[in-house]
Structure formats: C-alpha cells, structure tokens
Structure 1
C-alpha cells in the first residue's frame, strides 16, 4: 500500500510535564507556585508562557531546567524522568542539554565578553584555545565580534543579552530557556533580541521556552500559553 505523502509527520515531544506541582514553605504558610501542570513541548517548538509577576512562570522554567525539584508529578526529557537522575546525570543535563538566558544577563564582570561566552565549554573540559575559538564563532553569529575583548560594563544591555544568548548556546543544547529575556531592555534592543531568538530557533531547529509578561515578545513564538495562579491555560 502506498503511503499518503500529504499526511504531516507529528514532531516528537522533547519535554512532557504531568501533574507537576511545586510547593514552597514560608514559615507555616504553604505556597503552591505550580498547581497540577500538564504540558507537552515538541522538539523544535518555540513556546511562550505569559502571565503576571508571581504567577509561577519562572518556577516553571526552573523545574524544566533541573534547577529545582518538583513537589509532585513528573518531568520527562526525551522520554527520561528527571526525578530519576542522580546528581551526575542532573549536572550533565543542565550543562549539556539546557541553555538558560536570564533577565539580568548574569555575565561575569571580570571576564571579557568572549571569555564569558567560552565559560560553559571550559567548564565542560574543553581546552581554553578551542573554547575561545567556539566562542568567537558564536559572537559572530550574534553580531558581537567587535565587542569580544570588552568587559560587560563596557557594552549595552542589548549586547550583554546577545552575549548571554551565545553563552547559553555554545554547548549546543537541545533546549533553550529564557526568563524574561527583554525585561531589562529598551524597545529597540528588545526587538533585536527577540528577532535573534526567532532566527536561532529557525536555523538550529532549537526548542525554546520563553516566559514573559510582554505580549509583544510572545508574538515571536509558535504557541502562547497563559499562566495564572500556578496553572497553565491555552
């Protein structure tokens, strides 16, 4: 029987959350940051999660990125349950499979831009000359070659964020997490950073999960979800 070539191939899920709950304890008070969250993210998908401050968006990124454990439920990455990872496996997951871009850039102030970008490769055990070469290639891709020997305080906020993106991607992770990546930028630099996300998503078939309170940022994503009081809504 001849196969129907018009039937689209469904992408596989890279990340699957089932019943994920995250509880924090503040004294005697119990705070549910995430409440029974179910979510599937396809390989190569760009998902934006919107919502007000304190709704649980950043917590969602932290548990997906292996930065925090869940209180209940499960998170699977490429079919493997993160809760079953030992410390070594979890460290490798965060180092090799996940890149994270923060609102506050988190660049090392005493290192140059190229040294900041090279740092994940150096921590991976790559010789420094090779790590710096790779960092130079990524700086070229984010149009920062002319800033490679500057310190973070010598460049603009938009340039710092582009350097942070290069640093997040130098290990070629399967998943890029972005936590309010335009929160500290003016509208011009924010648009440049979002355009860069869109280009890298398309060129690298990169899976991106971005949390943002800015609806204009969410328009760059393939799919937008809303978080309210720790719950996800389409």
Structure 2
C-alpha cells in the first residue's frame, strides 16, 4: 500500500495467511521477524518474494535501524526519541476507510505515522490516535492485530467531530520524508534538529514557560506551527524574532 512499512506489510500477510503472529509467519518463510522490525533490506526483499509487491518501495518506506537507537526514516537519520516506532498511532478515518475497502487485512501503517512531530492526518485533518501499548513486546508492531483489538476505541475516535489543519510545519516534515526540499537552511539541518529548533521556538512564541519535555501533543502541535511560521522565512526572520523576544 502507499507509504507502507515492512512491519505493517508483514502484519497484513499474517491476516491473509491465517497465521498466529508475525514471528510464526516469518518462521514458516525462513525469515527473522526482529530483522524485519529493524528494517533489514535483505529480509524485506525475501518477504516480498512470498507476498508480492514492490521491494524497493517497501524498503524505502520502512524504518531502518542504522546504529544503537538511531534510525533512517525517508532520507534522514534520526535518534529513537524522534520516532514512535513501537507505539502505534493511526488516523481513525484512514483506518475505517481501509477496513471498509478491504476488511481488517487492508488496515495498514503509513510511514509518516512513525514520526512523532507529525500529529495530524494530512488527508482527513484528524489528530493521530495512539493505540494502547503492549509492554515490552514486538506485538506492538502487528498493526492488524492491534487495530482488531482496539477497534471500538478507533470507531469512537472516528465519530468525534475533531478536525484541525494539517499545519505547514507538518507539511514540511512530510514532504521532507518524501525527498522534497523547501526551506534551504532547514533542509541542510538534521531532521531531529529541525524539529527541536522549531518546537522550542514555537513554545516560546505561544508563551509556554515549562520544560519542553512536559509539553503535551496539543501544545506541541500549536508550537510547531508557531515556530515554523518564523523559520520558513529564513535565518534573518529567526534573528528578528530573537530580537522581538
């Protein structure tokens, strides 16, 4: 599916094959589920031999471990804290549409749902919903099983009339994951630094005075938009904002 990760693809194959879990399916195929979670390209290509599809696309949209607590997402390398890999988030409307179109085995995880700073669905304007977390288990990557187990929660969220703009900040991040450039001096910075820079400035602009680590998703959504509104105009705009502050 468009922008699908390898763990999501494996989860859907589990449903299609009637296997008990991703690890069981991978054992049957002679594959390593933990290696697929790490985004190892050789394992992903072998998986596609059994399931079909485009191995290059699946490899590109998967999250790859490139070092201790360091991962590639799109064309960027980021620390683990920049991502929400084992904490699944979904757009309730996307997930309902997936299921309506092809049943539970159609429900899949989009690559950009892994980036913590993207908090809204670009297609529906829905805040991304965090699914309940299974403690210390790779079952958190089995999106079909997690959607199946939490479907009433997803349905309730989809019925709530909560829609908000997909901010220019989120659009910048999404486009960057897809390889586009837009703001030259930000494009040259590591992605994790852009996120920290933008949200820290934004928290200051909206008058937040506590530690950034204590800000919730709602505040960070607002802060990202506020910070990017300055930074998108270049370094001179940032320096002018510092003078104003």
Q: Going by fraction, where is strand more abundant, 1 or 2?
A: 1
Shorter-chain TM-score tier: under 0.3
Which has the bigger relative contact order, CA under 8 A and spacing at least 6?
1
Q: Going by fraction, where is helix more abundant, 1 or 2?
A: 2
